A and B are shown apart, each in its own frame.
Chain A
Amino acid sequence: MSVYTTILRQIINGLQSGSIYALVALGYSMVYGIITLLNFAHGDIIMIGAYIAWLSMAKLSMHPAFAILSAILGCTLLGMLIEKAAYKPLRGSPRISLLITAIGVSFLLENLSQMVFGAKAQVIPSFSNIPSIFLGTIELSGTAVITLIAAAVSMLLLTFLVQKTKMGKAMRAVSEDTDAAQLMGININRTISFTFAIGSALAGIGAVLYCSAYPQATPTMGSMLGLKAFVAAVLGGIGSIPGAMIGGFAIGLAESLVSAIGLSVWRDGVVFAILIIVLLVKPTGILGRPMREKV
């Protein structure tokens, strides 16, 4: 195999994991945009999504399509529940209290899963067998194709939702200026809840796509994925939706290109090196705007 095909293959791998990072990063960024909270429990929502998929198929022998739907729906509801139970009571508290609560929720979810499902990995049955397709000499796995398509469709729908619908415009208004948005008659609580629902649904889709590439569920699987998606959100400019998409793909590509040049032990290292560089050089990220102090 030529160097050329190796690199091309790694690019495809990078886009595949990158689209998952992008979906997860969107949730981080949207939530940050609306309540300036780094929701560190976001990665663990993916883990719960993976367990729901496992339960539905391995234990309840549901059809994969229903398993996928339950995973996405479960993540959506969990995200809304976390917001209502953990973050909403802290509205108006210092941001550090929210951040600590988010980390607490993350530990809670991880340890709860370990209690309920055990520490060992549960194998998720495959969702479907999509044959590989060939582009010349390059083999594209079915999962890679599906992942790219599903991520692209999700992002298009999200863009439409945010740009064109009433709720999407309300989200943008609240994230730009919460008080002014209230004076327009926008219901803040509903908008925040809706944002968590959308972000968590995207995490649910990410969970399904992640599990079709790495079909197992462990209690801590969400933490590394969540951290990398967080780096993606920061790289793209936290709070920015197109930024999260760009950041996700960039992180995925960086990882696989590092592998392509034979440094696969540095896969994780390079992601955090990127975080450090972004924070030193351009803390607002690629599309981020400087923070405006709200008076």
Chain B
Amino acid sequence: MLEVQNINVFYGNIQAIRDISFSVEDGEIVTLIGANGAGKSTILKSISGLLRSKTGDITFDGKSIKGTAPHKIVAQGLAHVPEGRRVFLQMTVEENLDMGAFTAPRATFEDSIANVYERFPRLKERRRQIAGTLSGGEQQMLAMGRGLMSQPKLMMLDEPSMGLAPILVEQIFDIIQELNRAGTTILLVEQNAQMALSIANRGYVLETGQIVFHAPSSELLTNDAVQKAYLGG
């Protein structure tokens, strides 16, 4: 479904990621784990078009999306829920969801929003509230709900657990699994490697801009080096 081949991304003269290649198959949950600054967010931004890779290629659903403007990539069914949630704080919950459906046909709006409200009943209760007044967990739900409004085939989630209480993290991860069972492919970036690997099919481990390990999650969870570096073992 998503194929990333040999991308190199720079911030000015500084190389953030080196020769990254990986793939996500239809229906999978794939996670990219690694320390702060390893280049995880940079990879997602390059896929969604916010950053450009100088080399290589990125194909989504068989079509190259490298160099395509971000707004066109969303329309092809690839949603990116950015790090730090980035909801529109001055808009209401419902307006945020409306923005998420910007590229979707108007006819499906009612269905999509009903679907989001069913998955996140909290958002329905607060739909007229300004997003800036929501708690961190609610904002994360809104960010995910907003991403779902474009009816994506692949959803990329950047640090959905960041800054949330453990009980909320559990809840968010349950929802990610539900979304996946309902047919959305997931590319998950996390610092919380334990949690991420517990729901993912496969994992890639990043270190200073390069992929150093790639294996099924069950193997990574028991791998000594990974345990030491990322799982506090």
Residues of A within 8 A of B (CB): 166, 169-170, 172-173, 176-177, 179-188, 295
Q: Considering the complex, which residues of chain B in the window 60-108 have a beta carbon less than 8 Å from any beta carbon of chain A? A: 69-72, 74-75, 79-80, 82, 84, 86-91, 95, 98-100, 102-103
* Structural contact, B91 and A176, CB atoms closer than 8 A: yes
Out of A166, A177, A182, A185, name the residue touching B88 (CB < 8 Å): A177
Instruction: Point out the residues of chain B lying under 8 angstroms from A188, CB to CB.
Output: 71
Cβ-defined contact, B48 with A183, below 8 A: yes
Which residue of chain A lies nearest to B98 when distances are taken between CB atoms in the complex? A169
Q: Interface size for chain B: under 10, 10 to 19, 20 to 34, or 35 or more residues?
A: 20 to 34
**B40 sits at the interface (CB 8 A):** no
Q: Is B49 an interface residue (CB 8 A)?
A: yes
The secondary structure that dominates the A interface is helix
Q: How far is the CB of A185 from chain B (nearest CB, A)?
A: 3
Question: Contacts of A181 on B, CB cut-off 8 Å?
Answer: 99
Report chain A residues within 8 Å CB of B202. none
- Cross-chain contact of A184 among B69, B74, B89, B90 (Cβ < 8 A): B74
How many interface contacts (CB-CB < 8 Å) are there between A and B? 63
A179 to B84: give the CA distance in the assembly, Å. 12
Tell me if B195 counts as interface (CB < 8 A to partner A): no
Q: How far is the CA of A183 from the CA of B49 in the complex (A)?
A: 9
* Residue in B75, B84, B90, B146 with the greatest tally of chain A CB atoms within 10 Å: B90
Q: How far is the CA of A169 from the CA of B49 in the complex (A)?
A: 22
Cβ contact within 8 Å between B74 and A183: yes
B42 within 8 A of partner (CB): no
Contact with A along B105-149 (1 / 0, CB 8 A): 000000000000000000000000000000000000000001000
In the assembled complex, which residues on chain A have CB atoms less than 8 Å from the CB atom of B80? 183
Are B146 and A176 in contact (CB-based, < 8 A)?
A: no
Alpha-carbon distance between A166 and B106 when the two chains are bound, in angstroms: 11
